[in-house]
Structure 1
Amino acid sequence: MWKTSVVAVMFGTASFMTQAQAQQRPAQQSVQWQLQVVSDGQQVDAFDGTTTVGQARTDTHHRVVTHNVGCKDAPGGSIDLSRTVTVSPLQASATDVTLAIESQETIEDPTARQTDTGCKLPPQPRQVAASHPGLAVPNGQWVTWTIVDRNPTLVYRIKASLANTP
């Protein structure tokens, strides 16, 4: 009987300690963020979300475009201009947020191309991949990150802050 009581007390104490430690752990911080995609000075896309520090959120947007091509200016093949962005808050405080950002895009060359006889050719798509391992964003302020510096320019504008927790 005595051994059973000691085991019960030890088990109860261990259980109580585990509950107390769990209650003392800080709640996971969440970050609210916005990412605007600016091409040649115009916003062309936007992403936003609330993501827990240490987690990642990936979103993909698609925009299918068709260009008139050839000498008869007829609709040509379609191109899927996709954009995939992954945002991972690494750390957050009342003053700033650090984000890891991964991006993969299909963009078009803005240069109009023609055949030797002057007939229109469709713009050529190209793949762009970018990675920022730790972009520091002051709380609630916009920060820019240049992905492509010309033909076309491609800039990400990012804003982030601690999410309001209930």
Structure 2
Amino acid sequence: MWKTSIVAVLFGTALLAHAQESAQPVVQWQLQVVRDGQQIDAFDGTTTVGQARTDTHHHVVQHNVGCKDQPGGSIDLSRTLTVSPTQADANTVTLAIDAQETLEDDSAQQTSEGCKLPPQPRVVNASHPGLQVKTGEWTTWTIVDKSPTLAYRVRASLANHS
């Protein structure tokens, strides 16, 4: 009977040790959305390597339109990001990032009579399968290079490190 108890204790200890050894690192990350040089949004999270986190932010805008400059319909400028750490150690974190952005064009449109039209929204999809970030340092990933410029500034580290 006592042999069975010892075997059970040893087996349980071995399983616990194996679980601790194979536990995936946890990554703390920050992502800033920068449009034309100014930060317009930010995301952050703590995610285990091999897992993903998806967040959506909404920014509803309304423009004055027409020759009488009346309020027009609203546009939901949504931004959805999925961030997944794929590798992490004390020096470098590798992130897979998928993004879908709804942006407004910078150019103001007018009718042939010179009346205001609202900016046209456009959807931008971007994916980076392995953005490498040095622990604690900012890395920039340019999504759109003009009209407007759009970049993500990303910083990451192991959750128990700064």
State whether TM-score is above 0.5.
yes
TM-score (ref. length: structure 1): 0.89
The alignment partner of 1:141 has SS state of coil
The structural deviation recorded for 1:18 is 4.5
Q: Return the alpha-carbon distance in structure 1 between the equivalents of residues 55 and 137 of structure 2.
A: 22
Counterpart CA distance in 1 for 2:61 and 2:148 is 16
Q: Which residue of 2 aligns with 1:20?
A: 14
Give the counterpart letter for 1:21 in structure 2.
L
Determine the structure 1 residue equivalent to 2:129. 133
Distance 2:96 2:12 in 1: 33
Residues 46-71 of structure 1 deviation map (CA, whole Å, 9 limit, x = unaligned):
00011111111110000000000000
1: CA distance, partners of 2:103 / 2:37: 15
Instruction: Trace 1:74-93 onto structure 2 (pairs within 5 A).
Output: 74-93=70-89
Unaligned runs of 5+ in 2: none
- The reply on whether 1:96 has 2:92 as its aligned counterpart is yes
Which stretch has the larger CA shift, 24-33 or 74-83? 24-33
Query: Which stretches in structure 1 are left out of the alignment for 5+ residues?
Result: none
Corresponding residue of 2:64: 68
Distance 2:152 2:17 in 1: 39
Give the corresponding residue for 1:52. 48
- Pairing partner for 2:105 from 105, 109, 112: 109
Aligned partner of residue 78 in structure 2, secondary structure? strand
Residues paired across the two proteins, number: 159
Cα deviation digits, residues 103-149 of structure 1 (max 9, x gap): 00100001000000000000000000000001000000000000001
Q: Residue 101 of structure 1 aligns to a residue in which SS? A: strand
SS in 2 for 1:102: strand
After TM superposition, give the deviation of residue 19 of structure 1 in Å.
Answer: 3.5
Larger Rg: 1
Q: CA deviation at 1:16?
A: 3.1
Residue 17 of structure 1 and its aligned partner are, at CA, apart by 2.2
> Per the alignment, in what secondary structure is the counterpart of residue 144 of structure 1?
strand
Give percent identity, aligned residues only: 68
Output the aligned Cα RMSD: 1.8
Deviation of the 1:15 alpha carbon: 6.5
* Match of residue 160 from structure 1: 156
2:33 maps to what in 1?
37
* Partner-residue secondary structure (3-state), 1:117: coil
The 4+ residue runs of structure 1 with deviation greater than 3 A are none
Greater mean deviation of Cα atoms: 105-114 or 14-23? 14-23
